[in-house]
């Protein structure tokens, strides 16, 4: 009798563990909620890093003068946008949605331009890093 219970317990625990590994790629509600809260706080607090990021990236592609002028202007725009998106992430953190901004943190994929709501607008001054080529 104990042998049957042991076999049943092993089969059930194996099935439970297998179901966790199958759904490992899916985010739970709590993981999504904490991720949005985390991104919101960090994007509000570190949005200003978009300014040197854009200066460096545009200087690398063109020259220092263009980087210091256009990179500064573009960086200020992205800094304000990233900070506002961080606030929106905090406000909507209980609602499960896709990411509002890519890359989710300013220090991730530093050479990649920032995109909002999954959209990108190709143009002369837009460059997406070597990791995703604008996709």
The answer to whether position 100 is within a domain reads: yes
Looking at residue 21, its pLDDT comes to 42
Task: Check: CB of residue 10 under 8 Å from CB of residue 54.
Answer: no
- Cα gap 89→81, rounded to integer Å: 12
Looking at residue 129, its pLDDT comes to 53
Looking at residue 134, its pLDDT comes to 46
Looking at residue 73, its pLDDT comes to 93
The answer to whether position 8 is within a domain reads: no
What domain range includes position 54?
A: 27-116
User: Hunting for tokens 């909620």 — which residue is that?
Assistant: 33
The answer to whether position 134 is within a domain reads: no
| Count of Cβ atoms closer than 10 Å to residue 12 Cβ | 10
The answer to whether position 132 is within a domain reads: no
The answer to whether position 55 is within a domain reads: yes
Host H or E run for residue 45: helix 29-46
100 CB burial (10 A radius; 0-12, 13-18, 19+): buried
Q: Each residue's pLDDT tens digit in the chain (135 positions)?
A: 566 665 665 445 544 544 444 444 677 888 888 889 999 999 999 999 999 999 998 888 888 999 899 999 999 999 999 999 999 999 998 888 888 888 888 888 888 788 887 665 555 445 555 444 444
The answer to whether position 94 is within a domain reads: yes
Looking at residue 91, its pLDDT comes to 92
Helix (H, G, I), strand (E, B) or coil at 27: coil
Looking at residue 131, its pLDDT comes to 46
The answer to whether position 18 is within a domain reads: no
Number of domains in the chain: 1
């Amino acid at each position: 009798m104990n042998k049957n219970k042991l076999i049943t317990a092993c089969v059930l625990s194996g099935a439970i563990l297998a179901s966790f590994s199958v759904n490992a790629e899916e985010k739970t509600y709590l993981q999504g909620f904490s991720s949005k809260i985390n991104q919101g706080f960090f994007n509000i607090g570190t949005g200003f890093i978009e300014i040197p990021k854009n200066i460096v990236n545009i200087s690398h592609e063109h020259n220092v003068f263009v980087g210091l002028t256009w990179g500064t202007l573009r960086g200020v725009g992205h800094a304000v946008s990233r900070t506002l998106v961080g606030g929106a992430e905090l406000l909507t953190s209980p609602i499960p949605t896709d990411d509002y901004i890519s890359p989710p943190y300013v220090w991730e994929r530093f050479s990649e331009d920032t995109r909002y709501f999954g959209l990108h607008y190709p143009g002369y001054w837009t460059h997406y890093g070597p990791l995703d080529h604008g996709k």
